[in-house]
């Protein structure tokens, strides 16, 4: 049943030779990699509004200058990352650039910041999408967590189906969102020209106004608005998913993405300020702007649903980037090797599952509130930006080449700008939750270090270096078969043991002596007269006496290989029937396999299953 459900949800496996065909053209690549950046206007607008509304109408008047500063930063980042794409066409973004140019530890810090950013991107996108939906349908507010988890499941399955299929499906909401907002901005401009300047709802503003305008307030709002820049790096991380020529297509898509993103951000904030729009309780500022332009008509709901759709699929940027970057880190030995494996549909499915688990945990812990997650967001983003741009300066100074001074200057400007923004974000958001990320990044880096240390430790232990060649002959095996009674499963295990060794010993742990004579009679009849050892267990333990016997049995062998353990195990016909049996064979296997031995290698355990009909 699970097999059929898996193929129904995910699709049939794809052969490895189709991997190149799974790459995306520019239209689908833009849809796959830009939702995070494009959708960030939803929560960036909201954070700018919430940051300034506490200072009343005078505070809201600063919306455009702050949007302009964010726009300049976007331009710098676009120029900088266009150069990163050209220099590092295999992808990896901040991690690859920092590792190759700044060293191991800066690279790991960038990797930690990047992966945390991807997790937060998905969590914020989904929760912000649910907030947009609940603004149009207020009855959904109490169920934000449940709705967000359902949407997370949908986008996980979509990505498990494969890169090309995900890109095709996601193109619909992405281009619908862009089209809906361009139409709204166009209609808004016409309405502004016809109706003229709007007026702020002073009564609504007065209910929010609690602070005066200060430098800290402005910087705090700017740092919140900088969440609009999340996702800018995604294209440089995913160059490998483009069809050839990868570098040229990736740079073209980055320019288009930045242009559309800047237009949507500046256009919506300008219209919000021009019309004097304010949001009601449990309503986002973009919902209020759409209501101002269209009223509660069909276009209002179209824009609201397109906002929900883009915010949900914005998580797709993480589902493309996180598994890819995790795979690169794992190839270098700093994350589990399983993350390098391609799944049935030629995607890094283990990375997708890992991301889904982390995002689900964040949604539940923070109650589906995107505003609570935002403060955690920007620190990791701008730390990765800064390390990447600094690494690019070192790269150009090292490789030189045509116009390297200009290229280094552009990346240097990006490094300085993002570093200053990082300080502003960290300082202004520290008490709001940024301290969590400052603590979490070193913890993730330590995890990377321990994983790498483990792989370094086991490499010499697995190496064939020093092993005599040809290997010494294997001495005859001695086999031990634990038995609890005579049945077909036990008989099959004994027959298998006799087929691989002439020295077979059966071990019976006596829990109830009244049953022993009956067992001995059955054993002598069916076992072929092999050696039988009966071990009384007055405290009714099976594992302890068996392990002690095996240790003593091995000592008798001297330098020979530890005795092979052959375990009879019957397998019930249905999964629920496992609950009706005590799983003794599984417990013995677990205890023996993970038992450390002072001499020689680990004990060989052979499981002999006997399948029962359901």
Shared-domain flag, residues 571 and 446: no
CATH code: domain of residue 561 = 3.40.50.620
**Residue 498: inside a domain:** yes
> Are residues 191 and 285 located together in one domain of the fold?
yes
Q: Tell whether 516 and 444 lie within a shared domain.
A: no
Q: Are residues 14 and 68 in the same domain?
A: yes
Question: Which of the residue ranges 137-141, 324-328, 369-373, 543-547 would you say has the lowest mean pLDDT?
Answer: 369-373
User: End-to-end distance of the chain based on CA atoms, in angstroms?
Assistant: 15
Domain closes at, from 425, 456, 487? 456
Predicted pLDDT of residue 600:
47
In a domain, 473, yes or no: no
Looking at the structure, do residues 449 and 484 belong to the same domain, yes or no?
no
Encoded tokens for 448: 């990377």
Q: Do 443 and 491 reside in the same domain of the chain? A: no
- Is 298 inside a domain boundary? yes
Do 520 and 434 share a structural domain? no
Would 302 be classed as within a structural domain? yes
- Same domain? For 17 and 76 the reply is yes
What is the DSSP code (8-state) at residue 501?
Answer: -
Predicted pLDDT of residue 193: 87
Convert the pLDDT of each residue in 515-524 to its tens digit.
888 888 889 8
Question: Is 467 among the domain residues?
Answer: no
Least confident range from 102-116, 370-384, 442-456, 472-486: namely 370-384
Domain that holds residue 393: 2-456
260 and 376, same domain (yes or no): yes
User: Residue 136 falls within a domain, yes or no?
Assistant: yes
How high does pLDDT run on average in the chain?
Answer: 83
pLDDT at 162 over 90: no
pLDDT at 19 over 70: no
Helix, strand, coil in percent for the chain, rounding step 5: 70, 5, 20
**pLDDT surpassing 80 at residue 128:** no
pLDDT interval class at 452 (50, 70, 90): very high
Q: 123 with 152: CB under 8 angstroms? A: no
Which pLDDT does position 596 carry in this prediction?
Answer: 62
Together in a domain, 327 and 439: yes
- Residue 570 main-chain phi, psi, to 5 deg: -95, 140
The pLDDT tens digits of the residues spanning 253-280 come to: 999 999 998 999 999 999 988 888 887 7
SS3 at position 81: helix
CATH of the domain at 113: 1.20.1740.10
**CA dist., res. 20 & res. 449, Å (int):** 33
d(CA 223, CA 378): 7
In a domain, 102, yes or no: yes
Looking at residue 41, its pLDDT comes to: 78
| pLDDT at residue 483, rounded to an integer | 93
Q: Contact 493/566 with Cβ under 8 angstroms?
A: yes
pLDDT digit string (tens) for 63-72?
Answer: 889 988 888 8
Total structural domains within the chain = 2
Residues 347 and 276 in one domain: yes
Query: What is the three-class DSSP state of 505?
Result: strand
Percentage of the chain lying above the pLDDT 70 cut: 89
Residue 510 in 3-state DSSP? strand
pLDDT of residue 5: 61
Both 174 and 277 in one domain: the answer is yes
CA atoms 77, 128, 305, 303: torsion sign: negative
Residues 344-364: what's their mean pLDDT?
88
215 found inside a domain: yes
pLDDT given at position 140? 81
Of 456, 489, 507, the last residue of a domain is 456
Neighbours of 358 (CB within 10 A): 19
Tens digits of residue pLDDT in 555-596: 887 767 788 999 998 888 777 777 776 778 888 888 888 766
Least confident segment among 6-10, 377-381, 414-418: 6-10
Residue 275 confidence (pLDDT): 86
Flag whether pLDDT at 598 surpasses 70. Answer: no
């Amino acid at each position: 049943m699970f097999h059929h459900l898996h193929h129904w949800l995910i699709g049939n496996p794809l052969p490895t030779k189709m991997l190149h065909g799974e790459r995306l053209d520019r239209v689908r690549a833009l849809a796959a990699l830009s939702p995070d950046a494009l959708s960030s206007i939803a929560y960036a607008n909201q954070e700018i509004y919430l940051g300034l509304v506490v200072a009343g109408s005078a505070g809201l008047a600063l919306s455009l200058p702050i949007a302009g500063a964010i726009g300049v930063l976007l331009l710098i980042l676009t120029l900088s990352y266009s150069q990163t794409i050209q220099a590092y066409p295999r992808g990896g973004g901040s991690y690859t650039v920092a590792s190759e140019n700044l060293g191991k530890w800066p690279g790991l810090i960038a990797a930690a910041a990047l992966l945390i950013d991807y997790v937060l991107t998905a969590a914020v996108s989904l929760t912000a999408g649910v907030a947009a939906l609940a603004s149009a349908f207020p009855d959904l507010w109490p169920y934000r967590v449940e709705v967000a988890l359902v949407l997370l499941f949908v986008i996980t399955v979509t990505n498990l189906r494969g890169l090309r299929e995900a890109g095709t499906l996601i193109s619909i909401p992405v281009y619908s969102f862009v089209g809906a907002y361009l139409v709204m901005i166009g209609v808004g401009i016409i309405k502004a020209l016809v109706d003229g300047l709007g007026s702020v709802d002073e009564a609504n503003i007065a209910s929010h106004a609690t602070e005066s305008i200060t430098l800290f307030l402005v910087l705090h709002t700017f740092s919140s608005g900088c969440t609009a820049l999340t996702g800018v790096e995604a294209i440089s991380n995913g160059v490998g998913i483009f069809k050839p020529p990868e570098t040229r297509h990736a740079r073209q898509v980055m320019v288009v993405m930045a242009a559309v993103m800047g237009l949507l951000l500046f256009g919506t904030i300008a219209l919000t300020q021009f019309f004097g729009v304010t949001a009601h309780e449990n309503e986002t500022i973009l919902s209020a702007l759409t209501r101002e332009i269209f009223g509660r008509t069909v276009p209002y709901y179209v824009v609201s649903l397109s906002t929900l759709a883009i915010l949900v699929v914005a998580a797709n940027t993480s589902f493309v980037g996180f598994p890819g970057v995790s795979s690169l880190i794992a190839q270098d030995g700093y994350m589990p090797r399983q993350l390098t494996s391609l799944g049935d549909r030629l995607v890094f499915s283990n990375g997708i599952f890992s991301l889904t688990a982390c995002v689900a945990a964040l949604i539940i812990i923070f109650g589906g509130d995107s505003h609570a997650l935002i403060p955690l967001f920007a620190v990791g983003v701008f730390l990765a930006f800064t390390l990447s741009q600094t690494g690019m300066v070192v790269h150009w100074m090292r490789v030189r080449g045509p116009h390297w001074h200009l290229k280094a200057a552009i990346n240097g400007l990006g490094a300085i700008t993002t570093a200053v923004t990082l300080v502003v974000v960290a300082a202004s958001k520290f008490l709001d939750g940024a301290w969590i990320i400052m603590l979490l990044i070193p913890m993730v880096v330590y995890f990377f270090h321990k994983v790498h240390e483990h792989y370094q430790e086991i490499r010499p232990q697995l190496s064939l270096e020093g092993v005599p060649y040809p290997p010494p002959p294997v001495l005859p095996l001695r086999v031990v078969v634990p038995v609890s009674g005579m049945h077909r499963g036990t008989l099959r295990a004994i027959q298998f043991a006799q087929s691989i060794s002439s020295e077979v010993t059966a071990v019976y742990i006596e829990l109830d002596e009244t049953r022993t004579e009956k067992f001995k009679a059955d054993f002598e009849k069916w076992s072929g007269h092999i050696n039988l050892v009966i071990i009384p267990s007055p405290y009714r333990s099976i594992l302890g006496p068996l392990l002690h016997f095996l240790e003593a049995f091995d000592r008798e062998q001297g330098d020979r290989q530890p005795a092979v353990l052959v375990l009879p195990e019957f397998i019930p016909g249905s999964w629920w029937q496992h609950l009706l049996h005590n799983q003794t064979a599984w417990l013995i296997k677990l205890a023996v396999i993970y038992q450390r031995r002072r001499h020689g290698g680990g004990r060989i355990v052979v499981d002999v299953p006997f399948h029962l009909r359901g």
